[in-house]
Amino acid sequence: MKGTEFAELAAFMAVSNERSFRRAAERLGMSPSALSRTIRSLEERLGARLLNRTTRSVAPTEAGQALFDRLRPSIADMESAVRDVGAYQSRPRGAVRVNLPRIAARLVVTPILADFLERYPSVRIDLVIDDNITDVVAQGFDAGIRSGELVHQDMVAVRLTPDLRMAAVGSPAYFARRPPPQVPRDLRDHLCLTYRWAGTGALYRWRFDGPDGSLDVEVLSVVTVNDTDLLLAAALQGAGLAFLPESFVAPYMASGELLRVLDAWCKPFAGFYLYYPNKPRMPAALRAFIDFVKLTSPSRIGRQGA
């Protein structure tokens, strides 16, 4: 159906409901004469008179009433659909899709999910765990969470955590077999558990900072995996040393299940940011999620505002 044909039918429905060209014209935002021309065009196209007009009243003909009765349910459905879409903008409802690494899910999102869903019961959160650098816009996500170093400058970004540090850790059982490394180059004599990026196949760099600047160490990788939970589990079992974010392994260091080495060589780097494209009409569900995460995150400092 062409746009002009739909406009003609909408005009006919308005006149039939109002039983007045003047009131229908006001409702449609057009002049009575233009509305009259539109109705005539519809009648000519259909080859049937749809409205009986007198100087005092307007009423559907038999053909017009039949058309009105057939169109009324469809028009009502369309009007309801339009109202529902507007509701997505006015009150939080629907799905929010977020792309984020497993560590960010554990540290930032999982702790607030229950409170968020209790406050916004009509919102669904779709978390996609993805440790690769994914284009959230191209892949249809509403937002992403990444280290600030990885967020594109054209995105709106909100800081969620303070700066992070990496930690080289191993279990007491592992260090019972091998002496702890004193400097990063000692890692060449150790069994290491290394993260591999699924998208590129590249290994995560073991980067340290010393008196002479940054230092990348090529380690002996006895296990490579693209899942940080598996790296942690292998380290806890004594399979080797793992290089993971400090906040991720902090509970295990506190309990003594993991021991940290090379602490002085691990300097802070940019923490996690929630980021999203700058949208002129942001869905209310996404706005609610952004505001809630900002208020409940460890850091409320926005890099570019929101």
147 with 292, same domain: the answer is yes
What whole-number distance in Å separates Cα of residue 218 and Cα of residue 239? 18
188 with 247, same domain: the answer is yes
**Exposure letters 165-182 (e unless 16+ CB within 10 A, then b):** ebbbbbbeebbeeeeebe
Among 68, 90, 112, which residue terminates a domain?
Answer: 90
pLDDT at site 301: 35
Phi-psi region of 75 (alpha: psi -120 to 50; beta: other; left: phi over 0): alpha
What whole-number distance in Å separates Cα of residue 163 and Cα of residue 144? 18
84 with 9, same domain: the answer is yes
CATH of the domain at 57: 1.10.10.10
Number of domains in the chain: 3
| CA atoms 136, 140, 142, 145: torsion sign | negative
End-to-end C-alpha distance for the chain, whole angstroms: 41
What whole-number distance in Å separates Cα of residue 286 and Cα of residue 291? 9
For 158, phi then psi, to 5°, come to -125, 125
279 with 141, same domain: the answer is yes
Domain contains 303:
no
What whole-number distance in Å separates Cα of residue 203 and Cα of residue 182? 23
Tokens of 128: 């996609």
145 with 198, same domain: the answer is no
Closest CA to 207 of 245, 253, 175: 245
85 with 105, same domain: the answer is no
Domain contains 211:
yes
7 with 66, same domain: the answer is yes
Domain contains 242:
yes
Domain contains 287:
yes
20 with 82, same domain: the answer is yes
The pLDDT of 43-56, averaged and rounded, is 85
| Least reliable range by pLDDT among 42-51, 80-89, 249-258 | 80-89
pLDDT over 90 at 238, yes or no? yes
Query: Who's near 55: CB < 8 A, 6+ residues apart?
Result: none
Among 62, 90, 118, which residue terminates a domain?
Answer: 90
275 with 148, same domain: the answer is yes
Domain contains 188:
yes
Please, which pLDDT band fits residue 235 given cuts at 50, 70 and 90?
A: very high
pLDDT at site 2: 58
Tokens of 269: 């780097």
Range of the domain at 208: 166-265
Stronger pLDDT, 138 or 236, i.e. the higher one: 236
pLDDT in tens, 58-109: 888 989 899 888 888 877 777 666 555 554 455 788 899 999 988 888 888 9
Domain contains 209:
yes
34 with 60, same domain: the answer is yes
Predicted model pTM: 0.60
59 with 105, same domain: the answer is no
- Apex 242 CA angle, 236 and 244, nearest 5: 105
**Exposure letters 278-303 (e unless 16+ CB within 10 A, then b):** eeeebbbbbbbbbebbbeebeeeeeb
